[in-house]
Copies of this chain bind each other. A is one copy, B any other.
Amino acid sequence: MTRDYSLRAIEPPQPPEDRFVQFLKSRGKRITQQRRLIVEQVFSHHDHFDADELMDHLQELIAERKVSRPTVYRTLSELTEAGLIRKMTLGGRSVYEHEYGYPSHDHLHCEVCNKLIEFHSDEIERVRDSVARQHDFEVFSHRLFVSGLCRDCRKRKEQRSD
């Protein structure tokens, strides 16, 4: 299987599938055919996805009754619990992205085409921690979403108004 780790990816010490097996064992859960198929699909390429998109990729397996809708949801929860993926909410629906083997980052979200552009900023973490300290707040994590227009949609807009 080819695995697409883009630019800023961290080479993980062990593949996500193994990590998941480890997680399942530690919880007395079983390594089933469907859990195997779902993790594999989820980590087959680095991208943001929602439950429906994932099911589109699994459509054949779903048609063959090898995997079902509830199991996809159940497994997404487990992957989230295991820290392999990260869940976020975008306009009412849940969107997931890889967390394991990928550095923490934030997003620029294009309101027109819905593209998500990732970026990382140490400075934001610094400011975040300093604010938290002022409030006696213990930080677990943060999420920064910047809404606006991506380069392409901006160009398209400018052309129209010229």
What is the interface of chain A, defined by CB distance below 8 A to chain B? 89, 92, 108, 110-111, 117, 119, 121, 123-124, 127-128, 131-132, 134-151, 154
Please, how many angstroms separate the alpha-carbon atoms of A128 and B132 in the complex? Answer: 18
Question: Known contacts A121-B127, A123-B127, A127-B127; is A142 also within 8 Å of B146 by CB?
Answer: yes
Task: Please determine whether A143 and B147 come into contact, CB atoms closer than 8 angstroms.
Answer: yes
Smallest CB separation, A107 vs chain B (Å) = 10
11 chain-A/chain-B pairs, Cβ below 8 angstroms: A108-B135, A111-B140, A124-B124, A137-B148, A137-B154, A140-B147, A140-B149, A142-B144, A142-B145, A142-B146, A142-B147
Task: Please determine whether A135 and B119 come into contact, CB atoms closer than 8 angstroms.
Answer: yes
Please, how many angstroms separate the alpha-carbon atoms of A145 and B107 in the complex? Answer: 12
Task: Please determine whether A149 and B143 come into contact, CB atoms closer than 8 angstroms.
Answer: no
Among B124, B135, B147, B149, point to the contact of A127 (Cβ < 8 A). Answer: B124
Q: With A124-B124, A138-B149 given, can you name 7 additional A-B contacts, CB distance below 8 Å?
A: A89-B89, A89-B92, A111-B140, A137-B146, A137-B154, A138-B148, A144-B145
Task: Please determine whether B151 and A135 come into contact, CB atoms closer than 8 angstroms.
Answer: yes
